[in-house]
Amino acid sequence: MIRPGDRIGIGVSGGADSVAMLRIFAETRARLGIAVHVLHFHHQLRGSEADEDQRFVEELAREFDFKFETGSADVAGEARLHGWNVEDAARRLRYQFFTSVAATRELSRVAVAHTSNDQAETVLSHILRGTGPTGLAGIYPVAGIIIRPLIEAGRDELRKFLFDLGQPWREDVTNQDTSRTRARIRHQLIPLLLRDYDAAAVARLSRLAGHVREDERFWHALEDQRFHALTSPESTATISVGIADLLSPLQRSGFDPDSEGDTNADAFAKAPPTMALTKRLLRRIYAEIRGSREQLTSRHVESVLDLARKSQSGSRIDLPGVSVERVFDRLCFTGTSLNKGTSRTDRNAGLNIDFEYVVPRPGRTESTSVVVTEIHRRFNLKMVDWPPAQSDTVVGWGALDFDRIRWPLLLRNWRPGDSYRPHGSRRARKLKRLLLNSRVPLRARVGWPVLISEGKVVWVSGYPVAEELTPRPGTQTGLMIGEEEV
């Protein structure tokens, strides 16, 4: 968690756990070789009591010659504004403060004082909420810049440590409010478990979380590899995945457990062995677009699976902030406005992509580039001797017979009525039909790039060049065309 030379922020509320952490850092900072900043966040919830907490922490930081920094926010107001509960709003704003100070003060880490009791409470609250395996992992000891050095220490152990030092702390009376689920778990459920079931219940729950985190590391690595192998980002807000790949995510990996094991065909079809990975991929895609997995429920995941298994092309569903549309044999996930009044027409307004660029004629030793900002792509054109040297033959580059091109060329999006005769085809083909047959999603189709010479389509991205401009025996100079994302 910590290395010599680090600048560590420690979040101190004034409660026993965080004060114990401050005293531990006071005793070990010289040996660890670190600088310590005390961070205190004022939630503006408890009036003068919260003001006293801040003064107490500031004096404690001064006593041990720690740098001190405080922040505050109207937690109750933010909770009302965003529809959060107060506890969730307090946590969000507190961590935003920690992250902001870490950036401005160049802190390596920010330590918070979660204990094994907090871990047990978290696991129990997740179980009662109906969590899957991911929720059983509880609180992670390291999460980004946040570290939890006391996660294996018990709350009673830390209080004894403070008693032995004669070190006072502040008590937050709201922690006793058993109208809140977390407080009831702390003051009613856990004491019951310890008294009537197992005196080591807290330690066992913490150990369970540790075992699950080990499994989660494996799952995350597998999920990450399969996500990058199977999905196609079409823009910053759209990701697509093949339905066959989604439902059998290991089929092309060399290991396919779906093909072995269960002999009950009906049960097997409903829940193949890789379904756990399929659901994780769905949550990962959602998180990539939304920034987190919050608001995505198991019911949402099942609705996406139904869309993949049972629907026809063009069917769609709406998740919180993300729409999912079936486009032939793929699912396309696209970020949407959370405004429930947004109509489908409004959501599709960005699909009217129209562009037109004149392409300069490249020089003999130079290439020409055209950046099309509307579709975030760069098109590169260069002259090469024909037939080209091996170094010039690059996958993804089309080639025209340079001497038969009529300049200027025009690079634009395809339009209704466009047609051309691809090399190897006996007749002209409508571009609309080509794109539909290739199952190109609508979002990509509307801005599909083509090159025009003398009013005729001579090149279409991803397809053979026009038959009349295909290099032939006797061609001396080729015009190679490549494209890349920008």
Tokens of 147: 């570290």
Task: Indicate whether 101 belongs to any domain.
Answer: yes
Query: Do 421 and 331 belong together in one domain?
Result: no
Residue 197 structural domain? 7-213
Where does the pLDDT of residue 272 fall: very low under 50, low under 70, confident under 90, or very high at 90 and above? Answer: confident
Counting the structural domains of the chain, the total is: 3
Of the residues 161, 180, 213, which one is the last residue of a structural domain? 213
- Check pLDDT > 60 for residue 13: yes
Of the residues 284, 313, 347, which one is the last residue of a structural domain? 347
Query: Do 338 and 382 belong together in one domain?
Result: no
pLDDT higher for 315 or 456?
A: 456
Query: Do 299 and 187 belong together in one domain?
Result: no
What's the pLDDT score for residue 234? 65
Query: Do 185 and 59 belong together in one domain?
Result: yes
Task: Indicate whether 228 belongs to any domain.
Answer: no
In the block, which residue shows the tokens 């930081």? 61
| Of 32-36, 63-67, 107-111, 254-258, the least confident | 254-258
Which CATH number belongs to the domain containing residue 340 in this structure?
3.30.465.60
Query: Do 171 and 278 belong together in one domain?
Result: no
Task: Indicate whether 229 belongs to any domain.
Answer: no
The alpha-carbon radius of gyration of the chain (Å, integer) is: 30
pLDDT higher for 397 or 354?
A: 354
The DSSP string of 209-240 is HHHHHHHHHHHHHHHHHHHHHHEEEEETTEEE
Task: Indicate whether 219 belongs to any domain.
Answer: no
Task: Indicate whether 149 belongs to any domain.
Answer: yes
| Of 103-112, 116-125, 337-346, 407-416, the least confident | 337-346
For 339-369, the pLDDT digits (tens) are 344 444 444 444 567 899 998 888 776 778 8
Q: What is the mean pLDDT of residues 189-203?
A: 95
Nearest-10 Cα torsion for 140, 143, 147, 148: -20
Where does the pLDDT of residue 397 fall: very low under 50, low under 70, confident under 90, or very high at 90 and above? Answer: low
Helices H, strands E: what count in the chain? Answer: 17, 21
What's the pLDDT score for residue 236? 61
For 73-99, the pLDDT digits (tens) are 999 999 888 888 888 899 999 999 999
Query: Do 193 and 324 belong together in one domain?
Result: no
Q: Indicate the length of the chain as a whole number.
A: 486
Tokens of 480: 């190679």
What's the pLDDT score for residue 235? 61
Query: Do 32 and 133 belong together in one domain?
Result: yes
Query: Do 200 and 333 belong together in one domain?
Result: no
What's the pLDDT score for residue 389? 62
Query: Do 204 and 284 belong together in one domain?
Result: no
The DSSP string of 183-216 is HHIIIIIHHHHHHHT-TTHHHHHHHHHHHHHHHH
Task: Indicate whether 220 belongs to any domain.
Answer: no
Query: Do 120 and 206 belong together in one domain?
Result: yes
Task: Indicate whether 1 belongs to any domain.
Answer: no
What's the pLDDT score for residue 267? 47
| Of 108-122, 259-273, 306-320, the least confident | 259-273
Other C-beta atoms lying within 10 Å of the C-beta of residue 393: 12
Q: What is the mean pLDDT of residues 272-279?
A: 89
Query: Do 290 and 365 belong together in one domain?
Result: no
Which CATH number belongs to the domain containing residue 25 in this structure?
3.40.50.620
Of the residues 155, 178, 213, which one is the last residue of a structural domain? 213
Query: Do 303 and 320 belong together in one domain?
Result: yes
